[in-house]
Amino acid sequence: MGLINREKLNFWGAVASIVGVPLAIVLYWATQPMTASSQSQPRTSVSTTGDQSPAIGSSGGDVIIHYNAPVKEKGYVLRNVKYGATLLVDPPDFAGMNDPKHHGCLAPAGTPVRPTGRKADTNQIKDYWREVTVIAGDCAGKDGWVASENLSGE
């Protein structure tokens, strides 16, 4: 039975696919660079705490260990999207905002502060006021109450 040209082409194409795929896989693996295996090396797990705890960083494949690396605490700043500056008041209420004798300081946007942890409520809003200590700028060292919406974490 004679095969026509199209059937011959289909036959040889199928043979090439069957032979070519395994050959391509073998050639791919043969050209990959050899890497060392770490399975034969014992692995040790190390855990440290306290002042001698390392902070480990990696750069370009090298491992760098820094002992006594400072831990960056989450910082807070004052940000008032409506007015720019934030008024520190005492006591924590809206009446204090309108009475100049209760104004502690007018801190510009971005002034770093440390929350004291104290919170106060308004009639309808729980934890509306937060007490802060200003840690830098013209108001440094002053304590006062700010609206929680003006306290931003960095």
How far apart are the C-alpha atoms of 141 and 148, rounded to whole Å?
A: 19
pLDDT band at 58 (very low <50, low <70, confident <90, very high): very low
Tell me what pLDDT residue 108 has: 94
Looking at the predicted structure, is the pLDDT value of residue 117 above 60? yes
**E strand or H helix that includes residue 14:** helix 5-31
Has residue 48 got a pLDDT over 90? Answer: no
Mean pLDDT for the stretch of residues 66-80: 76
pLDDT score, position 31: 76
Distance separating alpha carbons of residues 78 and 52, to the nearest angstrom? 35
Residue position matching structure tokens 């004052």: 78
Q: State the average pLDDT over residues 31-42.
A: 59
- Cβ–Cβ under 8 Å, residues 102 and 89: yes
Nearest Cα to 118, choosing from 148, 79, 141, 150? 148
Give 1-24 pLDDT, tens digit per residue: 566 777 777 787 787 778 777 777
